[in-house]
Structure 1
Amino acid sequence: MNVHMTSRPLPNPAAVGSYRKEDVVFLLKDLSDVALEKGTEDREEAIQSGTHYSEMLPVEYQPTADYIRLFHETLEETAGKVALSAGIVAELVVKKRGFDIVLASLARAGTPIGILMKRYILQKYEVDLPHYSVSIIRGKGIDVNAIRYMHHNHPEASIQFVDGWTGKGAIRKVLIEAAVTMKEQYGIELDDDLAVLADPGWCSDTFGTREDFLIPSACLNSTVSGLMSRTVLRDDLIGPDDFHGAKYYKEWLTDDVSNVFVDKVSEYFPSVFSEAEEEAERLYNNAELTAVTWKGMQDIQRIQEDYGIADVNLIKPGVGETTRVLLRRVPWKILVDRLDNPNLKHILLLAGDKQVPVEVYPELTYSCCGLIKPLKSGEQL
């Protein structure tokens, strides 16, 4: 391993997040006292003018009573399905990697999924895997100090990265680049395999399902992600020996459903053990079923042409990403595969709430796509 790497001090994890300590450790610097939020319009303008999205935070959307009720209804309806998908991806990871691994979930959508995988493996195999939540940022890469920390504390284990779902596959590509960088610069071998609950973009070969369904944790922001903000990377706040940063919204503890989500899904694990193992075995033994084709990107290119959108980053495919567009960006319109898709109830509710037009766009790989409004003058739609 690179000598310079070992001589630098390691940061200590901050005591943040509303999850139980045994579920996850956040390898993040606490920026709770820093004013980082920008209004949606201001933030959108800044992003489209070249400011990196990781240098500021959106003002967290405070869901209406209807929307919170929808979260609970969706959780009731899909907890078993989420449990099965979490079980399948956990079983696949065990088949591929064994138990000498560290789970590293990508903050923040990956964190609840990493917790579910950890709990599934603990319940089924009585193996308690270390689990950390780490920052990865499109355009800036993975948190090197978080990798150093895990490598130092678990030198014999390999790191299994975990995320919630795939959209265009941008984060998977960042991970592939990060693995090359860590090997070249620091002599650390990383596996760029990304385990996800849902892979509607066909970007990963370690997944629980490829159906683009509503994972209840995509419904909300910090209140279903341990009360943590998105991760932040700004030179004036994050030094060379710091973890990437995030805010811990302790003031929203009374609204927090982070543990409600993982506890509810975990209750279903014993009932899906057999089915999850059988499906993982089927996927593991048939490379055609898990082939990475980046099929979703073909949708994106078609949408770009049909709507004259120059910047691919303004197209956010899949239920999870479309939810994020509606919660924290400036949406232009929502494309759906069909209006009666049961996975779209909350999308239609949010779009109606924010008066965003919804259009049927047939033959989508995904259930839906969110289109962000270009704010630069002169750009045509």
Structure 2
Amino acid sequence: MSDPTSAPPGWYDDGRGQQRYWDGTQWTEHTAPLYGAQDATRPYDTAALAGDSSPGSSPYADTTPFAGLPTDGPAGSGGAPPAGYTGYAPFGAAPGAPGAPPEPGGTNVLGIVALVIAAIGFVFAVIPFVQVVGLILLPIAFVLAIIALFLKGRKWPAITGLILSVVGGIIGTIVFAVVALGVFGQIVDSGVIQDEIDRQLEEEFGEPTGPADEGSGEESGDEAGQGQVLAFGETMVWSNGVSMTVSAPEPFTPSDLSAGADQAENIVFTLTIQNDSGENVQPVVFSQLSSGGTEATRIFDVGAEGGQVGIPPTTAILPGESITWSEAWSVADSGSLTMQTAPSFEYEDVIFTNVPQ
């Protein structure tokens, strides 16, 4: 009798014209017909069917796996399967049944598409000022992932895409709310709304409402930059001590994760805001760049060498501190550039250029 531990679990010919399941240590009560009794791939033993069971009357008499083995096995089926004997699935066994082949997984193409769109949408959703792209892609990924869950194939891409779309939507909404509140707060603090109210009251009643915002322009320094044109590399200093520098442009090579590189040349600037005032500065930078009379395209690159490029700062700058970041652009002509920018909406825009004045 063979060592019972030498044969893996599976369906085996038990020497009695049927299959029986071997669980690795003993026979079970599960039986099934032999393949040879179901199809024409294994001829019927005509001699055995005629009642002749003498040696040599069956073409399988010498090859039956358990021929000559004791009949006192745990299930009374002829002992354990011999070492090295390969079991097989019973005829008509359902996927997942003992000894049956595993059900093929297959590729869920729609699930993979949903995962890719969700990943791209997630990246854009957490980037201020370009969140609208992410908030468009994430719902699409959500719907595709739901549909993919009901299709054949592996489910993990659809499940992962579904999770990414939900989490990205939540984070993107939070970031959008924070940025929107910050911008609204800057507008309120700058006195723009109050100035408009005063103007409307003055037109209505023919007299000003009083010096409510007197000196506000000097505190914010917004008038100091009005009409200023500087060369790249120079520094603009507003009256309250806040300054901003835009470096000369340098060539930029976008990574495979970039978006926006669609013109003849790609360049990058290094921008720095220095806060030498007595109050915190909340940066809300919205730069605009033209090249040879053509509006440039901003490049967003989360895989750029040295860190992500194109994402403006959102952290408050404390008195005496500074912040530096990079902005990449795709332009038609790097020799004719004009950038309009400012630290926030409180400050009048200043122009940096490399066009001779």
TM-score by length of structure 1 reads 0.22
TM-score by length of structure 2 reads 0.23
Whose relative contact order is higher, 1 or 2, with alpha carbons under 8 Å and at least 6 apart? 1
- The structure with the greater share of residues assigned to strand is 2
- The structure with the greater share of residues assigned to helix is 1
Which structure would you say has the larger Rg?
A: 2
